[in-house]
């Protein structure tokens, strides 16, 4: 199997099951125009996030890592009219693109993008005593993933679902001797899930237009 094959299959699946979407295509185009890195989730991955959120009836969604708002659009569309999506982004420039894309997608009333260090924003949410989130998508700097997970547990409820992206690192996650900060962050996150009395999780390897990687699914218990 080659990257070309993975991409061709992803293209087929997108055409067969996801289809074209003007708002999502525009979000990618505007992100590229603004010079954002092309690391957003693929259309099939975005649809998966949407279906997961719909499947648990999510009313409140938290995203750590906005980039250009592409994944936020997918998840925001799973919310009811009175739902809420809070997306956290370090870069003011990226946040501005995400806000504009969410506005163009008609989600400005349910979605907000907060700028600053994610750890600070997460702490503020806890201090503010916000209503628990039903669904959390963590797609930010991997060395800080363990910290983001710990905050996310404080911001969720029993039955909430947490999804962490880019956890396979092209297979490097299996290297116990790795000194890569991203690999170390992901491995520590998996250790926390395995040890935490309220968490159950599993990780899935994926291939596609974004290469070889994977995600971790975590359910928050009582």
Average the pLDDT over 47-67 and give the result. Answer: 97
The DSSP bridge partners found for residue 165 are 215
Average the pLDDT over 144-162 and give the result. Answer: 97
pLDDT in tens, 90-130: 999 999 999 999 999 999 999 999 999 999 999 999 999 99
pLDDT in tens, 182-202: 999 999 999 999 999 999 999
Residue keyed to tokens 């070889």: 212
CA atoms within 13 A on the CB side of 199: 22
Average the pLDDT over 16-34 and give the result. Answer: 94
Alpha-carbon gap, residue 12 to 84, rounded angstroms: 32
CA pseudo-torsion sign 197, 199, 205, 209: negative
Question: What separation, in Å, do the N-terminal and C-terminal C-alpha atoms of the chain show?
Answer: 42
| Complete domains list, the chain, with CATH | 3-220 (3.40.50.150)
Taking the model in full, what pTM does it have? 0.95
Taking 3-state DSSP, the helix, strand and coil percentages for the chain, each rounded to the nearest 5, stand at: 45, 25, 30
* Arithmetic mean of pLDDT over the chain: 96
Q: Cβ neighbours of residue 187 under 8 Å, at least 6 residues apart?
A: 173, 176, 178
- Can you tell me whether residue 80 is helix, strand or coil? coil
Q: Cβ neighbours of residue 186 under 8 Å, at least 6 residues apart?
A: 142, 145, 164, 166, 167, 169, 173
- Can you tell me whether residue 163 is helix, strand or coil? strand
Tokens of 164: 């962490």
Give the pLDDT of residue 49: 98
Q: What stretch of H or E contains 133?
A: strand 133-138
Confidence of residue 1 (pLDDT cuts 50, 70, 90): confident
With left for phi above 0 and alpha for psi between -120 and 50, is residue 49 left, alpha or beta? Answer: alpha
Alpha-carbon gap, residue 216 to 35, rounded angstroms: 28
């Amino acid at each position: 199997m080659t990257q070309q094959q993975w991409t061709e299959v992803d293209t087929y699946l997108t055409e067969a099951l996801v289809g074209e979407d003007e708002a999502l295509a525009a979000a990618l185009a505007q992100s590229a125009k603004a010079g954002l890195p092309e690391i957003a989730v693929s259309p099939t991955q975005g649809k998966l996030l949407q279906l997961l959120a719909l499947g648990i009836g999510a009313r409140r969604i938290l995203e750590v890592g906005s980039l250009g708002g592409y994944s936020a659009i997918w998840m925001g569309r799973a919310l009811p009219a009175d739902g809420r999506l809070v997306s956290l982004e370090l870069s003011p420039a990226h946040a501005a693109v995400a806000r504009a894309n969410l506005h163009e997608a008609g989600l400005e009333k349910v979605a907000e993008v907060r700028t600053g260090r994610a750890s600070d924003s997460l702490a503020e949410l806890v201090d503010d005593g916000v209503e628990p989130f039903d669904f959390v998508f963590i797609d930010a700097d991997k060395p800080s993933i363990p910290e983001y997970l710990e905050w996310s547990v404080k911001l969720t409820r029993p039955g909430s679902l947490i999804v962490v992206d880019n956890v396979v690192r092209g297979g490097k996650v299996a290297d116990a001797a790795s000194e890569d900060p991203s690999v170390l962050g992901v491995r520590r996150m998996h250790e926390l899930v395995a040890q935490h009395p309220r968490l159950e999780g599993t990780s899935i390897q994926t291939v596609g237009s974004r290469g070889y990687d994977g995600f971790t699914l975590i359910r928050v218990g009582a």
